[in-house]
Structure 1
Amino acid sequence: MIDLSDGLPPEDETLAQSTRTIRDVARRAGVSIGTASKALNASGRLSAETRARVLRVAGEIGYRPNDLAHSLHRARSMTVGILSNDSFGRFTFPIVEALERSLSDSGIAVFMCNATDDPERERRHIDQLLGKRIDGLVVTARRNDRRAPIEPAVGGVPVVYVFTHVERPDALCLLPDDQGGAQLAVRHLAALGRKRIAHVTGPERFEAVRLRASGYRAALAEFGLSARAGDYCPGRWSEAWGREAVRDLFSKRRGAPDAIFCGSDQIARGAVDALREMGLAVPVDVAVVGFDNWDVMAEAARPPLTSVDMNLGALGRDAGACLLDMMGGRSIAGVRRLPCSLVVRDSCGADRTQEIERKA
């Protein structure tokens, strides 16, 4: 007969490690099962010496807690699913990173699935996540447009939509404030003395484009300015479109813009390139502001781009906090738009007086 308290023959050691139980830990540590449980779960009142001895023994024999048994005991799996369609990850990764950090502080693990805009694949992922008895689900996307709600109902599992939203009064949707972000950018340009501010942006089928255009016009009105015909240029999400739109803006005989607010950093990079090719200095002749604060684009531009930051990390942290509250039984619903911020770099010319002096 083999007594686990006295050790195992070397040939049985590896096999037995996968079946070690809390009883084995308690026996070797010379404590009761209840005491071992308290030490392993960092609960109850134990001496530091006893707790340390139990943890040392657990490590020595390779004990791992049975997560499935624990989840059945507490009716929670301590896991959350994340469902995305963003295979590139430009917007999803900062959200997920902050979300995962927020949840891990509460001992919750994350399963992430990519549906790539395939409804059938999304349905399979949801079934698989529910089969793992997840405690909550986060749905995110590569753009913050509307999407179909998760159907059929996910059996009472709390769902948070981040960087996307649905038409359901009982749903919680967290989004960046695109309109407010655009207002920040245009107010900044107007406060620097720019009088004719053009807006070069992406396709109007995107809700973000429409909201940013609304913020652009609202901020102009605050300063007694208005967009002239042709100053608003919707098009494509690309540097090529930024170059093309700027060449068109400056080819007309009427007054050219002295500032350009771009709907993305990619567009802004193209706009800056076109201005340079036309012999115009940024920001002395024309100030430029982008949107997204994508550091790969913004910091490497010449000059570095002032840009609106959607604060995606804050979105992820808020999503994690809300999901934890919902998992705890709190009912939360509605559409929340979180504030953006403006990261000022060289492309806008933060001191208009000095710009004029350098130009002279």
Structure 2
Amino acid sequence: MKPSWDPPATRPSPTTIRDVAAAAGVSLSTVSKGLNGTGQLREETRQRVLQAAKRLNFRPNDLAQSLLRGRSFTVGLISADRYGRFSIPILEGIENALESTRMSVFLCNAADDANREREHIEQLLAKRVDGIIVTGRRSDPRPPLEVSAHSVPVLYAFSQVSDSKALCLLPDDVGGGRLAGEHLIAAGRRRIAHITGPEDFEAVKHRCAGLKQAVEQNSLPWRVDDVMSGPWSEMWGRYAVDDLLDRNQKIDAIFCGSDQIARGAVDALRDRGVRVPDDVAVVGFDNWQIIAAETRPALTTIDMNLHELGRQAGLRLLGMINGEDQQSGVIRLPCSLVTRESCGASRPVQPFARDNTLEGLA
């Protein structure tokens, strides 16, 4: 009786360098030289080797080649950002920086799990990566990677450690907050409130400090009561707007610590019949396209330029891999302002009158 199922097909053996040598009619050493572009071979011989390898779908053993070259042409990216909101644009920037070197990036998601992170580190070291970049979902200090017994260079991007010898690349959150405040003030806004995230976040403190600098440097009063900290959510933005305007009807601008908060704030203002930007201008932070571009009106916001941060991380790690001296410590890269309708970007900016700055603001 015939069986009712077919036995699994036998997996064909992978093509070896010996198969390529036989097909091209050359020695093993000639195949190696032809594939690696080394040695003195006639062009006709080199092409015969390459054509035979292509015809047989031969793939060199990358691990064996990396042992010979002392390089694997791979780097690891360890992230705690499980949703990819920050790590994906950073990854794209890293890949952009390494594209010309034909280096590949292994993305490992540790998801704030120390044990999982250690497992990823062991796997990356076993793969003999040439370097490791560490990123996260927030820029607050974290423990350094435990790779001191290995010579692999490590760099932190949108992440930082307290080790002064480490290289950490971060957005300039103070500069971003100052940029938002200066833009609103240049548009003639005089009473700027701030709705932001949890006050224990370093970025929250820095963005608030930047806004305060802009306000005080333009001789406007800084009112602590107009600063509200809470969760990173649209719901918090809606609640905070209601609380702020119930206490103070003179607010004419709101700088929000994230685009999510800003979207909730815009919704709450609309529900109260407050026109954005006519009555109250709104600026967010992140330039998260799926939020900022779809908010009505579209959201003016601060861009952390994470792609460029990732590109700088890739370039600097490449320099470390090549043995070049790199600056250590925390380096903060500039943010930029993306203007849309929520701050009145489509209208002429009114000059800010300094002669009556304090009138009616108390």
TM-score (norm 1): 0.88
1:147 is aligned to: 142
Alignment-derived partner of residue 315 in structure 2? 321
- Residue in structure 2 matching 1:193, options 171, 188, 195: 188
Structure 1 contact 169–334 (Cα < 8 Å) conserved: yes
The answer to whether structure 1 residue 163 and structure 2 residue 158 are counterparts is: yes
| Aligned residues: CA RMSD | 2.2
The CA deviation at 1:71 is 0.9
Instruction: Give the aligned length.
Output: 340
**Cross-structure match for 1:87:** 82
Alignment match of 1:265 (pick from 254, 259, 262): 259
What's the offset of the Cα at 1:125? 1.7
- Give the structure 2 partner of residue 256 of structure 1: 250
Contact 2:15-2:56 at 8 Å conserved across structures? no
**Structure 1 counterpart of 2:12:** 15
CA distance in structure 2 between the aligned counterparts of 1:47 and 1:225, rounded to whole angstroms: 77
1:10 aligned partner? none
Select the residue among 100, 104, 113 that pairs with 1:109: 104
Q: 1:64 aligns to what?
A: 59
8 Å CA contact 1:217–1:226 kept in 2: the answer is no
Deviation (angstroms), 1:44: 6.7
Displacement of 1:154 = 4.7
- Offset of residue 39 of structure 1: 4.2
**Alignment partner of 1:244 is 2:242:** no
Shift of 1:219: 1.0
Tell me, in whole angstroms, the C-alpha distance in 2 between the residues paired with 1:59 and 1:15: 17
Matched residue type, 2:262: A
> How far is the alpha carbon of 1:20 from its aligned partner?
1.8
Say if 2:186 and 2:349, in contact at 8 Å, map to a contact too. Answer: no
Shift of 1:351: 5.4
Range with bigger deviation, 79-88 or 47-56: 47-56
Amino acid at match of 2:162: E
Deviation of 1:215 after TM superposition, in Å, equals: 0.3
Query: Percent identity of the aligned residues?
Result: 56
Q: Distance in 2 between matches of 1:191 and 1:49?
A: 69
CA distance in 2, matches of 1:255, 1:228: 14
2:20 maps to a residue whose letter is V
8 A contact 1:282–1:288 mirrored in 2? yes
Identify the residue that residue 291 of structure 1 maps to in structure 2: 285
Structure 2 gaps, min length 5: 1-9, 351-362
Indicate whether 1:220 and 2:215 are aligned.
yes
Instruction: Return closer, same or farther for 1:264/1:89 CA change in 2, 3 Å cut-off.
Output: same
Unaligned runs of 5+ residues in structure 1 are 1-12, 356-360
Q: Sort the Cα spacing of 1:229 and 1:170 in 2 relative to 1 into closer, same or farther, 3 A.
A: closer
Q: SS of 2:107's equivalent?
A: strand
The separation in 2 between residues aligned to 1:112 and 1:291, in whole angstroms, is: 26
Amino acid at match of 2:276: V
Q: Separation in 2 of the partners of 1:108 and 1:44? A: 24
Q: Please give the per-residue CA displacement for 1:42-69, whole angstroms capped at 9, x wherever unaligned.
A: 5677776655443222110121112122
TM-score (norm 2): 0.87
The answer to whether residue 282 in structure 2 is matched with residue 282 in structure 1 is: no
Note if 1:347 corresponds to 2:339. Answer: no
